[in-house]
Amino acid sequence: MDRLPEDAQTLHAETLALLLALESERSWSHLSGSFATKSIKGIDYVYFQYSDPGGTKRQFSVGRRNAALDEIISEYGKRRDRHESDLVQVRRLAGLLRSAGLDSIPHGPARVLGALADAGVFRLGGVLIGSYAFQALGNLLGVKWPAAAWRTQDVDVAAHLRIAVPKLDADVPKTLESLQMGFVPIPQLDPDHPSTSFRVRGQPLRVDLLTPGQGRDESPVYIPRFKAAAQPIPHLSIILHEAQPAVAIDGGATLVVVPSPARYALHKLFVSQTRSIPQQSKAGKEMHQAALLLEILAEDRPTDLEQAARAVAAAGPTVTSKISRALDVALKRWPEVQPGASIIRQGLSQA
């Protein structure tokens, strides 16, 4: 694990601030497209035409042309020019970040994250978890992780079933289909259950939707605002509280939402102790990610670790005992996590 140069951390903070500003100003003028006029029986009608993420041309009617609509079209052009200028700045910053040594996401997963963000998944409570979240957390914390700790082709997105958000939706299956990458639903073992995963034919790229589990029922849960089902996972709520914005770097940069670093570490410790023997390689990766986070957080943000441990202790002895057991294992493999492990144990005991 290497510390990123201070100028790289400053660039990253600037990129995140710009993406947050763009998100707060998001409007219809951010749609990439153009207006066209068609004459039907001597009357001019205005249409808006655009391309979806897969490149398919689409068009919808705006209405009969008049002075008010002409003014709207003119304003769209001005705002669109400003937005394009901002996107050029984002791409410039992303290039500088890659040159400075920050890790970027491979092209396929980056397209998926960009499409999900544009569809509104992260604005509507979706949280990126898994290894791409871990990679983004490294950039947030100013460190470069070992590649073996996060390289993957899985895109994992989690969300609560119900949250207080505007009455909008982000159609996940349609969004993935629009990319024209070959995404297909992965059938469940029970044919009566809807799919919670999508993968590209002949490739390892996969998208999984997850949600906190309720009791022992493992049946998929339909999330209406995503128009898709999610797999319930026990105690997943640990990782969804206190989620925060982050930057996913590729050819440009995408604003995503990720867990807090401390909660991510605690959840990975817990999950590593719930894996079956065939999943042991995943457990080892989860333990490695948790160990790296414990090391850096103990140095830079010890209070975050203690507060997260106190909060997670409320989940009960089933969770805390597994976290403690995972810490024992981690200490044998990575003695340098001792300071972070001590902070967590103190937080768990004081809850």
Of the candidate ranges 80-94, 234-248, 295-309, 319-333, the one whose mean pLDDT is the lowest? 80-94
Of the candidate ranges 105-119, 149-163, 224-238, 281-295, the one whose mean pLDDT is the lowest? 149-163
pLDDT at 97 over 90: yes
Q: How far apart are CA 330 and CA 27, in angstroms?
A: 47
pLDDT given for residue 54 in this prediction: 55
pLDDT at 80 over 90: no
pLDDT given for residue 77 in this prediction: 79
According to DSSP, residue 168 is labeled -
pLDDT given for residue 98 in this prediction: 92
Q: How far apart are CA 172 and CA 194, in angstroms?
A: 14
Of the candidate ranges 82-91, 230-239, 284-293, the one whose mean pLDDT is the lowest? 82-91
pLDDT at 93 over 80: yes
Q: Are strands 2-3 and 143-144 parallel, antiparallel or unpaired?
A: antiparallel
List, as own/partner pairs, every contact residues 222-226 make where C-beta atoms lie below 8 angstroms and the sequence separation is at least 24, other chains included: 222/194, 223/159, 223/161, 224/169, 225/124, 225/125, 225/165, 225/168, 225/169, 225/170, 226/121, 226/124, 226/126, 226/159, 226/169, 226/170, 226/171, 226/172
**Tokens at residue 211, please?**
């949600």
27-37 mean pLDDT: 72
Q: Are strands 206-212 and 154-158 parallel, antiparallel or unpaired?
A: parallel
Between 270 and 1, the more confident residue is 270
Q: How far apart are CA 252 and CA 234, in angstroms?
A: 35
Q: Taken in order 121, 209, 232, 229, is the CA torsion positive or negative? A: positive
Q: How far apart are CA 218 and CA 206, in angstroms?
A: 20
pLDDT given for residue 2 in this prediction: 87
pLDDT given for residue 95 in this prediction: 94
List, as own/partner pairs, every contact residues 211-218 make where C-beta atoms lie below 8 angstroms and the sequence separation is at least 24, other chains included: 211/158, 211/159, 211/160, 211/161, 211/236, 212/158, 212/160, 212/161, 212/236, 212/237, 212/240
Q: How far apart are CA 24 and CA 16, in angstroms?
A: 12
Per residue in 142-168, pLDDT tens? 999 987 777 777 899 999 887 655 567
pLDDT given for residue 213 in this prediction: 87
Contacts of 11 (CB under 8 A, 6+ apart): 93, 96, 97, 100
Contacts of 284 (CB under 8 A, 6+ apart): 272
**Tokens at residue 51, please?**
């391309």
Q: What φ, ψ does residue 70 adopt, rounded to 5°?
A: -60, -40
291-303 mean pLDDT: 96
234-242 mean pLDDT: 91
Q: Which residues of 87-98 are buried (b: 16+ CB within 10 A; e: fewer)?
A: beebeebbebbe
Residue 126 pLDDT level (bands cut at 50, 70, 90): very high
pLDDT given for residue 136 in this prediction: 94
pLDDT at 45 over 90: no
**169 with 113: CB under 8 angstroms?**
no
pLDDT given for residue 214 in this prediction: 73
Q: How far apart are CA 248 and CA 212, in angstroms?
A: 24
Total count of residues recorded for the chain: 351
Angle between helices 302-313 and 338-350 (to 10 degrees): 40
Residue 121 pLDDT level (bands cut at 50, 70, 90): very high
pLDDT given for residue 164 in this prediction: 56
Per residue in 173-231, pLDDT tens? 999 998 989 999 998 767 778 899 999 988 889 999 999 987 666 789 999 999 999 99
Cα–Cα distances (Å) from 247 to 113, 134, 252, in that order, read 11, 11, 10
pLDDT at 52 over 70: no
pLDDT at 262 over 70: yes
Taking phi over 0 as left and psi of -120 to 50 as alpha, with beta for the rest, 180 belongs to left
pLDDT at 322 over 70: yes
pLDDT given for residue 324 in this prediction: 95
Its pTM stands at 0.86
pLDDT given for residue 189 in this prediction: 66
